Structure 1
């Protein structure tokens, strides 16, 4: 028998981390029809109020990554009033890190998404891979991190794009 679950995912950033956590957790359960409600970039009380109205209409599990203490309290209080669980999956990790490092976590949304050297290396790998796909500019292959060879229709291009997104010139 299939169980229907409304899963409410709220983030004050892109929500990518939250989506990955939810996907990993849901993979542990069979026969679940998940209705995903996804709200990224939740940064104002007005936006949160609209989301809470939707949650009241479609009760279910609320999972969030919000760093603003006032918005967290509002969400937790209103969910408790609706009799719904509100889970902040990063809290145990942040608490453990705070204890180990002797400092409090900074309440800054989306800090893992920075434009650093690794980001620009991935962009460079993607551009290089696209420019050299399907044997184009073979004289520059020595610059590649990985060279894929295979028969036609064996998914070399999707594989190379995947690897490029991981930073490998393919």
Structure 2
């Protein structure tokens, strides 16, 4: 089947993060298409808008855009119509619906999601916590974690935790090593959600073998031997079952998908904690 080509123009008055995410999510639904992204960020003046229109006219293609200023929007939309290309203001349906439900006007300010507010600093704090508590480097302070991720080597613990930290969760990860028991304080840890990551042994063996080759080490190594890896994975799964950890198989999951599953588990974990807290308060007659 021949590959189709497409110029896709992404226009934003901010960093372009939102429109890029939408474009990626939609693009993967189509096969055999060569998509060339043309990115136009921080478009906040009429002069910038006109230059974008000139560039789009030179390489016509659909436009996805997030632009809040009415005057800049009008300039762009008039230009899109003149060039006769399809254009989609991706935030409009959501904003219009929320405005109607809330009976409030839309502020129309670009990049408000990137303001350095308390949420921003919470993410920075979470990132630092996650870096400090990567791969079991530091055990002290894990009671302050939101999530503690366990898994054998090369089950994507670190990138998953970094993604979670970028979403504002303090995420620590602890390696499960054959023959080395987990510290008792981890087994009795209260508060954080504890999750086990696993991977299909053959896939994990291949990943480890490639890792050894990158490090110029022999792949004739028990670390990558499939049978040894199988026993290691089975032992970890038995441990997770005994400790009651929910388990996520990352074999066919991206980092984002594994993190999304953990985010959902964390939300359920927090809800249960809140329900338990409410019961204790009802029994005691006052907040604990």
The two structures have a TM-score, normalised by structure 2, of: 0.55
Deviant stretches of 4+, over 3 Å? none
The two structures have a TM-score, normalised by structure 1, of: 0.90
- Structure with greater Cα Rg: 2
Where structure 1 has 5 or more consecutive residues not aligned to the other structure, the ranges are none
Output aligned runs, 1:3-152, within 5 Å. Answer: 3-152=4-153
Range 152-161 or range 6-15, more displaced: 152-161
Find the aligned partners of 1:97 and 1:145 in 2 and give their Cα distance.
30
Find the aligned partners of 1:109 and 1:45 in 2 and give their Cα distance.
15
Partner residue, 2:185: none
Aligned residues: 170
SS in 2 for 1:19: helix
SS in 1 for 2:141: helix
Where structure 2 has 5 or more consecutive residues not aligned to the other structure, the ranges are 173-288
Kindly tell me: are residues 145 and 90 of structure 1, through their superposed partners in 2, closer, same or farther at Cα, counting changes over 3 Å? closer
SS in 2 for 1:112: helix
Q: Is the 8 A contact 2:13 2:41 kept in 1?
A: yes
Kindly tell me: are residues 133 and 87 of structure 1, through their superposed partners in 2, closer, same or farther at Cα, counting changes over 3 Å? same
Q: Encode CA deviations 1:110-153: one digit per residue, 9 max, x unaligned.
A: 11223232322221111011112232222333332222333333
Range 11-20 or range 26-35, more displaced: 26-35
> How far apart are 1:60 and its partner, in Å?
0.2
RMSD: 1.7
